[in-house]
Amino acid sequence: MKKLLTAFACALALGASAQTPAWPEKPVTLVVPFPAGGSTDMVARAMALQMQSTLGQTFVVDNKPGATGTIGAAQVARAAADGYTLLVSSLGTFVVAPHLLKSVPYDATKDFDYISVPVQAPNVLVASLKQKEGTVAEVIASLKAQPGKISFASSGAGSSDHLSAEVFWQQTGTQGLHVPYKGGAPAINDLLGGQVDFSFQNVNAVLPHIKAGKLRAVAVTGDKRSPVLPDVPTLAEAGVKGAEVYSWQGLAAPKGLPPAVKDKLGAAAVAAINAPEVKKRMLDLGLEIVASTPAQFTAYQAQEYKRWKQLIETRKISVD
């Protein structure tokens, strides 16, 4: 009887193994819910090339922009949970849009398996050269002297640069004039031209302009100084506490990914972002390597989801 039971158990195990093919056995699609050329697209393409080399299968980046990233995210949420359709997106899709938009076609707390945050970056408060303010104290003084009149450009309502400004105003008891644009490029162009006064931009997006002397860096929003801007203080160093903000990219999959696939995907993602050539490129751009595990990203998503929900409701932020 024991022999029969053992043989039966072995047969079941072999049958289960046969029904679960090794991953990946066909091309994998990384959906980026934003246009090509942005930070998220760049991170996705760098990781795709490295994972393709490591896993021996094609990884294709598919840009599906629209509705602040929710169209592409919804496509992934509806896809089969087999590891062949993945999502690479910024924090907006995962922790901001669900609180900002009246209708979101997915549930960020239930519809995804969170795999890894490959990179993050602080934002940097930059000033047009037409502005005289060179320190945080001077910016605060100007805001208090002219409440609601000093303009802060952003790449759009609910973007990390917009939310950084809202946190800054909240923590300093001030109020600026939010000027949303359709993307970071036009916001930066108007900042360079002096049509707007300030902006909290991703470090990697404005680093060349800061180095060229075309924008003035006032402070960074991280909990430590940025290695690419070592002479620029953090907001905390300048006396503004509780205003730490990071822009980050995350890799996610449809909910229900087989554990073996999740483990393999998570390990491949961490290895990809830590590959010497990829890591160097990210660091040179001002991005910081995170390379979190699925468990770490899941906890972080819940933490960020709660934080931005509270801010959006308290500040009454909307896309209107």
Residue 27 has pLDDT above 60, yes or no: yes
pLDDT in tens, 145-195: 999 999 999 988 888 899 999 999 999 999 999 999 988 889 999 999 999
Non-local (6+) Cβ contacts of 220 within 8 A are 122, 123, 124, 125, 203, 226, 229, 232, 233, 234, 235
Q: What's this model's pTM, rounded to 2 decimal places?
A: 0.89
Output the pLDDT for position 155: 87
pLDDT of residue 252: 98
Q: Over the stretch 110-142, which tens digit does the pLDDT of each residue have?
A: 999 999 999 999 999 999 999 999 999 999 999
Calculate mean pLDDT across residues 197-220.
96
Cβ neighbourhood burial of 197 (10 Å; 0-12, 13-18, 19+)? buried
SS3 2: helix
Report residue 111: phi and psi, to 5°. -95, 0
% pLDDT > 90, the chain? 85
Cis peptide before 230, with omega less than 30 degrees from 0?
A: no
Cα–Cα distances (Å) from 71 to 29, 75, 78, 104, 145, in that order, read 16, 6, 11, 9, 42
Angle, nearest 10°, between helix axes 39-55 and 276-284?
170
Tokens representing 212 are 């060229």
Mean pLDDT, rounded, of the chain: 93
- What's the pLDDT band for 16 if we cut at 50, 70, 90? very low
Residue 10 confidence (pLDDT) above 70: no
Does residue 302 surpass a pLDDT of 60?
Answer: yes
pLDDT (tens digit per residue) in 185-202? 899 999 999 999 999 999
Q: Which domains does the chain have, with CATH numbers?
A: 27-120+247-315 (3.40.190.150), 121-220 (3.40.190.10)
